[in-house]
Amino acid sequence: MNDALDVVGLFRFAFAGTLLTALACGLLGVHVVARRMVTAGLALPQVAAFGIALGLVALSHADGHSAHAVEAGLPHVVALVCEVIAVLIIAWPRARAAVGQAAIAGMLFAGAGAVTVLVMAHSALGMEEVHHLVEGNVLAVGRADVVVLASVLIPVIVALALGSRRLISCTFDPEMAATLGVRVRLWQTLFYACFVVTAAVAVHAAGTLFVFSFLVLPGAAGVVLGRSGAGAMIVSAIVAVGGATLGFVASASAWDTPTGPTCAAAVLVLFLGCFALAAVRQRLTPG
Amino acid sequence: MDSSVTPLVRVSSASVGWGHKTILSGVDLVLRDGDYLALVGPNGSGKSTLLRAILGLAAPLSGRVERSPRWRAGYVPQREGAAQLLGVRAAEVVAMAVPASWMPMSARARRREAAQTALSAVGMTAFAHHVYRDLSGGQRQRVMLARALASEPTVLILDEPTNGLDVGAQRDLLDLVRRLRAERGLACLLVTHSIRIARTEAETVALLHEGEMALGAPADILSEARLAQLYGARALGGVA
């Protein structure tokens, strides 16, 4: 227990950044899973990684130091632009009618992944940066990174919490919500905006594997175990924060493993626990 | 203002469709308080597209759809969106229709009460705490009907409400709609591909066929001779 507290104290900024990222992804994840947008949840972090890679390469050409590039914030801006374009492609009615949303998201995932590797392979930054983008380097998150994460993710978390009733109504049945006077287009835009900015900043801090895992697994736990919209959000938030905490402490102290993948594994274990709990509850429910 | 003079909704010379493609043109219809209108036609005839325009979910390509200030639609949709995945209790599904308020505690109590009242009206009180996705098709339609009632509608809009239900559940649902309509004086707009249901339930029928609409009493619009002319004698069995 003391070891765990020591680790959290030593890496407090990294721990805070991990929790913020996990919570934002977890709250978004309920909607991602319930709307059957898991492939988009896979594609957008990858597109964000591509944007970050592009931003890093552009600035490393300008001054030769990727650290300056990060401080300049350009990678986040490029990631954001790439993600907005990706969302517009995913939502483009003609493309959806032609091959379906899942296929478009799959193409974006494959395309962005391939081009990221190709871009970085021919840059001064090399494949090490690709490794960081996928696996993440959460322990390297410092005070300045936490400020960036908090300034983006706290408003996202507050918006998702305060707007949860309207958002759940739009997720459950957007057409019905529209007939009840809910401004569905506004709420859908808010949801996608939260999705895009979260992926843009979270991928750079935690890597695509962490972001995808936390966009899907806590949300799936909320969907299988929650018995109300708010219940699903609460379960998802608990699983996300719990998985991040367990993974962080285990990776930084006991196991000495990469933090992002360890957190992903921890949240998978928690999801399996929730799934088992839901199955037991189903068996015990009469009728 | 005399409500019998001002219709709940008036559709004037409207064309509806998808993108730039017109599916239905020259639509003129009026729905007044207490009316029961059925939109009938085969698949692809534009029933749901016209309904979307009436509901305000899509603008007509030309013409006008005017809704009175008294228009409050209680909508029972044909599809269920993401409902199968999200584990939401029946009472919460119904409460989604109760208008929101910025006073969370009183609003929560009001929503709960309104949901219970609406569930009771459709005979689903015992299922209030059941997860919606675990209910049978007929029970889900009743919950959808309760949700429509919870919005305190002046018009009940039912989009293919009997789809996927067995004969007994279809009969129960239509009986329930008839009873609710009589008790509350609701106008009703029913979208169906079933000639039989339109004939037995509605007072006025709008028959959609090949881009045009014929409006009138069921006996005139759905006469055997007319249907045989429109659908062909063989096809008649399929739509009835």
This complex has an ipTM of 0.72
Q: Which residues pair with B36 in a beta bridge?
A: B188
Contact between chains at B87 and A223 (C-beta distance less than 8 A): yes
Contact between chains at A232 and B56 (C-beta distance less than 8 A): no
Q: According to the model, what pLDDT value does residue A220 have?
A: 94
If contacts are CB pairs under 8 Å, which of residues 217-276 in chain A contact chain B? 223-229, 231-232
Distance CA B97, CA B123 (A): 18
Alpha helix segments (H runs only) across chain A: 2-10, 12-34, 38-63, 66-72, 74-91, 93-99, 101-121, 127-135, 143-162, 164-172, 174-179, 184-206, 208-225, 229-249, 259-284
The separation between the first and the last C-alpha atoms of chain A, rounded to the nearest angstrom, is 44
Nearest by CB to A173, from B77, B85, B89: name it: B77
**pTM of the predicted structure, to 2 decimals:** 0.78
- The most confident of A3-17, A111-125, B44-58, by mean pLDDT: B44-58
Instruction: Decide: residue B32, CB within 10 A, 0-12 exposed, 13-18 middle, 19+ buried.
Output: middle
HSE-CB at B236 with a 13 A cutoff on CA atoms is 12
What 3-state class would DSSP assign to B21?
A: strand
Tell whether B86 is within 8 A of chain A (Cβ). yes
Distance from CA of B132 to the nearest CA of A (A): 9
Furthest C-alpha separation in chain B: 60
- Which amino acid is it at A77? V
Question: How far from chain centre, in Å, is Cα B15?
Answer: 20
Q: According to the model, what pLDDT value does residue B1 have?
A: 43
Distance from CA of B17 to the nearest CA of A (A): 15
Kindly report, residue by residue over A38-73, the tens digit of the pLDDT.
888 888 888 888 888 888 777 766 655 555 555 557
Q: According to the model, what pLDDT value does residue A270 have?
A: 96
Q: What angle, rounded to 10 degrees, do the helices at B137-150 and B167-184 form?
A: 10
Q: Which residues pair with B66 in a beta bridge?
A: B10
CATH fold of A2-278:
ABC transporter involved in vitamin B12 uptake, BtuC (1.10.3470)
User: Pairing mode, if any, of strands B9-18 and B21-31?
Assistant: antiparallel
Nearest CA in chain A to B90: A228
Tell whether B103 is within 8 A of chain A (Cβ). no
